[in-house]
């Protein structure tokens, strides 16, 4: 048992029908998989179970179909998966009933079968007990390897865990271990960097982090709301002025939890929201009324640099500025590269996640140098908010 959840180390899969929940929600262009990252991520678990003689029966959703819809079939994904895992992957046209049962009856030990999109049945998202029962009939054990879907209590992501012996797959295990190192039982001191456009989407996240970390760096558009709340004139910057009281409440909570809040001390501003528009560094007392803050300023960048030096663990979500537009990517790029250097030097455990954050780390060319980068999106954010994830809770012993 790893941590407090069951893994593939706790079960002999030989000869067993293993219902394996995976994330096959890959981007497609013209009927072909355009990015196979998610398939590569689930390959180790599939290969391990197959090599040990288990019958691998893949369960996954694809897209958001309302009922059966050919454009959301998993059939082309199963073909692409076969290329990645270098094994044949059979396909059944339905995830329950006669098509699934017949295909499974034909399996030999070590075979891999992909069942059709679970969301072709509306009962999947309802976690409908009868549907869970239909799925459970098809397997002897359930292995959940889809962390990215673990914030949803659906039939294949949660319900099955109450019907069959439940285990974490290797990808799930790696994600949970990395997250545990970041916020569960981290090496101290811990800092979080939170950026992005808005406070409103990250209130729960900020409220949870201030109780868990030693220092919280706030950047991006959301820092403007905090600066405004403190009386700084922020010109035409993106901000949610109606959330000033929320910002102050978060700062008070941080103070009572002994969490240092690190806000920008200067700003990189521009008069146009456009790439390569002229940029200027200003102190917070001198921001021109018709300008916009588009990045943290040079002194703030230096401050964040030294905060990273002081930390043993870093958790990061959200860019520090409008990183899609040069030169307003600078604060984010400098911090990303520095965190990567510290990680490579074994001075820092660095965990990052969220769509824009992954894009920013890729832009900096350092995603591979972080200790762990989560591509899980919603599930990663809910974890950062401190919420229990149903698909993980059900794996606990
Ligand atoms: P989020 O999805 O909340 O993580 O926000 C990411 C977006 O915030 C990115 O598209 C950034 O360009 C944007 N952003 C970050 N800082 C600023 C800023 N100072 N002004 C405007 N947009 C920003």
pLDDT digits (tens, 9 = 90+) for 323-354: 999 999 999 999 999 999 999 999 999 999 98
Query: If you measure from the C-alpha of residue 94 to the centroid of ligand 1, how many angstroms do you get, rounded to a whole number?
Result: 41
Nearest-CA residue for ligand 1 atom 11 is 322
Catalytic residue among 6, 38, 170, 330: 38
How far is Cα of residue 385 from the mean position of the Cα atoms in its chain? 12
Mutation pick for ligand 1 pocket among 206, 322, 377 (CB with most ligand atoms within 8 Å): 322
Q: Answer yes or no: are the C-beta atoms of 297 and 265 closer than 8 Å.
A: yes
pLDDT of residue 82: 98
What's the residue count for the chain?
397
Instruction: List, in sequence order, every residue forming a beta bridge with 292; answer none if it has no partner.
Output: 270
Question: In this structure, what are the phi and psi dihedrals at residue 190, rounded to the nearest 5 degrees?
Answer: -110, 130
The two domains 2-172 and 186-384 share their CATH topology (first three levels equal): yes
Q: What is the pLDDT of residue 2?
A: 46
Across 140-178, b (16+ Cβ under 10 Å) vs e yields bbbbbbbbbbbbbbbbbbbbbbebbebbbbbbbbbbbbb
Tokens for 91, please give them.
Answer: 């396909």
Ligand 1 centroid vs 222 CA: distance in angstroms? 8
Sheet holding 313-317, edge to edge: 260-262, 215-218, 190-194, 313-317, 349-353, 372-374
Strands (E), the chain: 17-21, 28-29, 32-33, 55-59, 90-92, 112-115, 141-144, 166-168, 190-194, 215-218, 260-262, 266-270, 279-283, 292-296, 313-317, 349-353, 372-374
CA of 294 to the centre of ligand 1 (A): 8
Tell me the torsion sign for CA atoms 252, 254, 258, 262: negative
User: Which residue from 44, 40, 54, 42 is spatially nearest to 165, judged by alpha carbons?
Assistant: 54
pTM, 2 dp: 0.90
Active-site option among 97, 355, 377, 386: 355
- The catalytic residue among 378, 386, 387, 396 is 378
Complete DSSP assignment for 78-126 = HHHHHHHHTS--EEES-SSHHHHHHHHHTPPTT-EEEE--GGGSTHHHH
3-state DSSP call for residue 317?
strand
Cis peptide before 189 (omega within 30 of 0): yes
Closest CA to 20 of 48, 46, 58: 58
pLDDT for the residue 249: 97
Q: Which residue has the tokens 């868990």?
A: 212
Judge contact between 354 and 317, C-beta under 8 A: yes
Residue 119 falls in the annotated catalytic set: no
- Please list, in sequence order, all residues whose beta carbon lies within 8 angstroms of the beta carbon of residue 165, skipping any fewer than 6 positions away: 6, 11, 140, 141, 142
Q: Which CATH number fits domain 2-172: 3.40.30.10, 3.40.50.1260, 3.40.50.300, 3.40.50.740?
A: 3.40.50.1260
**What's the pLDDT at 183?**
87
Q: Which of 193, 196, 270 maximizes ligand 1 atoms within 8 Å of its Cβ, making it the mutation to test the pocket?
A: 196
Regions of the chain where pLDDT drops below 50: 1-2
Q: Is 198 a catalytic residue?
A: yes
d(CA 321, ligand 1 centre) in Å: 6
Q: What is the pLDDT of residue 3?
A: 59
Pocket mutation for ligand 1, best pick of 195, 197, 202, 296 (most atoms within 8 Å of C-beta): 197
* Gap between the Cα atoms of 199 and 197, Å rounded: 7
Residue 54 falls in the annotated catalytic set = no
Quote the CA–CA distance of 368 and 131 in Å, as a whole number: 40
- The domain locations on the chain are 2-172, 186-384
Question: What does the pLDDT look like over 255-288, one tens digit per residue?
Answer: 999 999 999 999 999 999 999 999 999 999 999 9
* CATH 3.40.50.1260 is held by the domain 186-384: yes
Provide the pairing of β-strand 141-144 with 190-194.
unpaired
238 CA → ligand 1 middle, Å: 9
Burial letters for 303-340: b for 16+ Cβ neighbours within 10 Å, e otherwise?
A: bbeebbeebebbbbbbbbbbbebebbbbbbbbbbbbbb
Structure token pair of residue 392: 């993980």
Q: What is the dihedral of CA 276, 340, 41, 12, to 10 degrees?
A: -160
Ligand 1 cavity residues, CB under 6 Å: 195-198, 201, 220-221, 238, 293-294, 318-319, 321-324, 356
């Amino acid at each position: 048992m790893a941590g407090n959840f069951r893994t593939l180390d706790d079960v002999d899969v030989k000869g067993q029908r293993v219902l394996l929940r995976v994330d096959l929600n890959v981007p497609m262009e013209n009927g072909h998989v355009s990015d196979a990252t998610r398939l590569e991520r689930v390959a180790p678990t599939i290969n391990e179970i197959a090599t040990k003689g288990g019958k691998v029966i893949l369960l996954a959703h694809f897209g958001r179909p309302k009922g059966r819809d050919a454009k959301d079939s998993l059939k082309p994904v199963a073909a692409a998966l076969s290329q990645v895992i270098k094994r044949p992957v059979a396909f059944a046209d339905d995830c329950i009933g006669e098509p699934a049962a017949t295909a499974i009856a034909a399996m030999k030990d070590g075979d891999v079968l992909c069942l059709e999109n679970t969301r072709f049945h509306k009962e999947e998202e309802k976690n409908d007990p009868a549907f869970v029962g239909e799925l459970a009939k098809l397997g002897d054990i359930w292995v959940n390897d889809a962390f990215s879907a673990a914030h949803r209590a659906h039939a294949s992501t949660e319900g099955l865990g109450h019907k069959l012996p439940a285990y974490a797959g290797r990808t799930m295990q790696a994600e949970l271990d990395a997250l545990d190192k970041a916020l569960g039982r981290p090496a101290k001191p811990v800092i979080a960097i939170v950026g992005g456009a808005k406070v409103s989407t990250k209130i729960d996240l900020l409220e949870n982090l201030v109780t868990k970390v030693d220092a919280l760096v706030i950047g991006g558009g959301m820092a403007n709301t905090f600066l405004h709340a403190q009386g700084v004139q922020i010109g035409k910057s993106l901000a949610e002025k109606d959330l000033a009281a929320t910002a102050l409440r978060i700062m008070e909570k941080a103070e009572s939890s002994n969490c240092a809040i690190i806000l920008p001390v200067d700003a990189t501003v521009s008069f146009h929201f456009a790439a390569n528009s002229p940029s200027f560094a200003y102190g917070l007392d001198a921001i021109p009324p018709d300008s916009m803050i588009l990045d943290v300023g040079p002194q703030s960048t230096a401050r964040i640099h030294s905060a990273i030096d002081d930390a043993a663990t870093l958790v990061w979500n959200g860019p520090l500025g409008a990183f899609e537009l040069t030169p307003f990517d600078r604060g984010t790029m400098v911090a990303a590269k520095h965190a990567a250097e510290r990680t490579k030097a074994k001075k820092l455990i660095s965990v990052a996640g969220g769509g824009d954050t992954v894009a920013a780390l890729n832009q900096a060319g350092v995603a591979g140098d972080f200790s762990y980068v989560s591509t899980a999106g919603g599930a990663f954010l809910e974890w950062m908010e401190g919420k229990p994830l149903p698909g993980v809770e059900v794996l606990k012993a």
